[in-house]
Amino acid sequence: MSVTEMTRAVRGSNSATQQMMLEAAAATRLLESEGILDYSGHVSTRIPERDAFVIQIGSTSRAEVTPESMLVVDYDGKVLEGDGQPPSELPIHLEILRARPDVQSVLHSHMELAIAFTMMEGVKLLPMRARASRWKSGIPTDPDPSHIKLPEQGRALARTLGPHHAVLMRAHGLCLVAESLRALFVDAVHFKENATAQMQALQAGAKPLPLTEAEIAQIEKMEMRDWHIKKLWNYYVRKALDEEVLPQPWKDALVPSREMLTRE
């Protein structure tokens, strides 16, 4: 079945909505394949020029989501398109997307490594690896360890996140935010790498040496974020197509063109 045929099943959706449904399905499968999502966790992404966003049906396996597993939800939490219920922690997405107009996409994950950094006295998750300069402003921890099912919990979480790009949730998980779904996926890969690096330093019994301000300034001088996101998205999508994590008919809509993969 072609992408067009698949997405045609989602009646009433315009092409931007269809593309975001496909991208959200692909990003969810990639995140599950990389051990960032498992039986739970979710991504949301705004639909361009629509007062709504895409999020998956809460009960669908993260390894098997398709564009048809996606819902279109408005910023009051009302399901506009799709047949199913959003995740019970929908207020995470609603309140962060409301509070942060600069953010296009939100990830919520129960990544074990990240949770460990909310459970160690005197230890904070810090930017260790070069790509973690993304989180130079800080990675705050929200104190609420329960599931975020109420609007006031979501608002409190959004306040803890503040202007940052990541927030840990005490004994529960994390949220990442980014300017696009593809950027969010790449950030999630680097977030896990960075937490792994710090944990390895701690497990070696050493005092972790996070990036200094001067080192971060030097890294940012050399940074090509847009290019880097295209390159990694291309790598992970192609790998997932080869390994049948992503269905072949999705290829054309997901793999960047040769022009897009030319560095400026």
Minimum gap (Å) between residue 110 Cβ and Zn ion: 6
Interface stretch with Zn ion, choices 154-162, 171-179, 187-195, 200-208 (CB under 5 A): 171-179
Minimum gap (Å) between residue 173 Cβ and Zn ion: 5
Minimum gap (Å) between residue 150 Cβ and Zn ion: 13
Beta 141-142 vs 166-169: how paired, if at all? parallel
Identity of the amino acid at 84: G
The DSSP 8-state label assigned to residue 193 in this structure reads: H
Site string for Zn ion, 117-156 (x = CB under 5 A): ----------------------------------------
Closest listed residue to residue 139, CA positions, set 152, 123, 154, 156: 123
Residues in contact with Zn ion, counted by CB under 5 A, come to a total of 1
Say if residues 5 and 14 touch (Cβ distance below 8 Å): no
Minimum gap (Å) between residue 20 Cβ and Zn ion: 22
Residue with tokens 């990830």: 107
d(CA 183, CA 76): 26
Instruction: Identify which of residues 173 and 210 has a Cβ nearer to Zn ion in the complex.
Output: 173
Minimum gap (Å) between residue 107 Cβ and Zn ion: 11
Instruction: Identify which of residues 62 and 131 has a Cβ nearer to Zn ion in the complex.
Output: 62
Q: Which parts of the chain fold into alpha helices (H)?
A: 3-8, 15-33, 90-99, 112-116, 151-161, 181-203, 213-221, 225-242, 251-254
Minimum gap (Å) between residue 66 Cβ and Zn ion: 23
Determine the straight-line distance between the first and last CA of the chain, rounded to whole angstroms. Answer: 36
Interface stretch with Zn ion, choices 22-30, 131-139, 165-173, 186-194 (CB under 5 A): 165-173
Site for Zn ion in 31-50 (CB under 5 A): none
d(CA 38, CA 161): 23
Interface stretch with Zn ion, choices 61-69, 115-123, 173-181, 213-221 (CB under 5 A): 173-181
> 72: which strand partners?
54, 81
Interface stretch with Zn ion, choices 20-28, 172-180, 188-196, 211-219 (CB under 5 A): 172-180
Residues of this chain that bind Zn ion (CB under 5 A): 173
